[in-house]
Amino acid sequence: MAKKLVIFGGSGFVGGNMEKIAKQKGWQVVIADNRPAPQAEYRLVDITNKDSVEQVIGEILPTAVVNVAAIADIDLAEREKEMAFKVNVDGARNVAESCARRGIHYVFFSSDAVFDGEGNSYKEDDPLGPVNYYGKTKMEAEKAVQQACPGATVIRISLVLGYPIGSGNSFFANLQGKLKEGKDIPTPTYEIRTPVDVYTLSECVLELCENRYAGFLHIGATDSISRYDLTRELTRRMGFDEKVIKPQTSPEVKPGRAPRHMNGIISVAKAQGLLKTKLLSTADSIQRAFNQR
């Protein structure tokens, strides 16, 4: 019997790449999103509506469900708190409850934004302390998922590298768009992240769908990098002059901008011990993101 996967939020950057990789690995994939995914089989769904979620999962009866749907724009989440809570928390809970009723394995995407960013090498069971509303919704979503579906996998990621298949919000694509404008790009030296390329991330998630791991897991590179150094390296690889990347040495304060956590340094030691999929260095993650575009 074919393995069936439903990806909520699958028409975006991460979901689109995951859909492609999953099909290559023999999965039958259905995208569930509030917008069409022309390159894939899809169902229109409102993740904030229990009945809508129930209809999709009940119809397809997948082997596993992955949820990458989120209001992930940190500033938008800060402005539109009610919407962010409905999508990020209520939506996560709706999917968890539907999966739990049927014994379907659920992989939920969370974020390093649940931490305060003042520490170093955050482990899965370290205390939470988000500094913005987006992080707070992810923290509440983690609680909701664990309560509704104790067998779920909750993965935390820091920054995903790569290009979208079609549409989608990707750091690579956004940077390339800014570089083409030819303007200086202020970039923080004080924000540290633990990136992972979208291909390695997808392979890890598909493995978790197979082994049905229950609990929290950090997925990222085996080392971390500042946004400034990362952006300079990507700029060079994209064929632009690195001089347009200007060091920003203190947090930007302006109306409508939410605070950011500084250290998104997550320990991936647990994932390295659990997964067969090899986690890469930042340099190798960058290389793979470009090689497999």
**Once rounded to an integer, what is the mean pLDDT over residues 97-102?**
98
CB atoms near residue 5 (< 10 Å): 27
Percent of the chain residues past pLDDT 70, beyond the cut: 99
Given this model, what pLDDT does residue 1 score?
67
Are the C-beta atoms of residues 242 and 184 closer than 8 Å to each other?
A: no
pLDDT tens readout for residues 116-127: 999 989 999 999
Q: Please determine, for residue 225, whether its predicted confidence score (pLDDT) is greater than 80.
A: yes
Q: For tokens 């931490």, what's the residue? A: 115
Phi, psi of 12, rounded to the nearest 5 degrees: -90, -165
| Rounded-to-integer distance, Cα 51 and Cα 192, Å | 40
pLDDT tens readout for residues 153-165: 999 999 999 999 8
In the predicted model, what is the mean pLDDT of the chain?
Answer: 95
- The residues, any chain, with a CB within 8 Å of residue 171's CB and separated by 6 or more, are 159, 160, 161
- CA 231 vs. chain centroid, Å, equals 19
- Per-residue confidence band for 79, with pLDDT thresholds at 50, 70 and 90: very high
Q: Please determine, for residue 19, whether its predicted confidence score (pLDDT) is greater than 90.
A: yes
| Rounded-to-integer distance, Cα 9 and Cα 98, Å | 16
pLDDT tens readout for residues 27-64: 999 999 998 877 789 999 999 999 999 999 999 999 99
Are the C-beta atoms of residues 11 and 69 closer than 8 Å to each other?
A: no
| Rounded-to-integer distance, Cα 34 and Cα 20, Å | 19
Does domain 3-168+196-224+267-291 sit in CATH 3.40.50.720?
yes
pLDDT tens readout for residues 270-287: 999 999 999 999 999 999
Domain residues of the chain, as ranges? Answer: 3-168+196-224+267-291
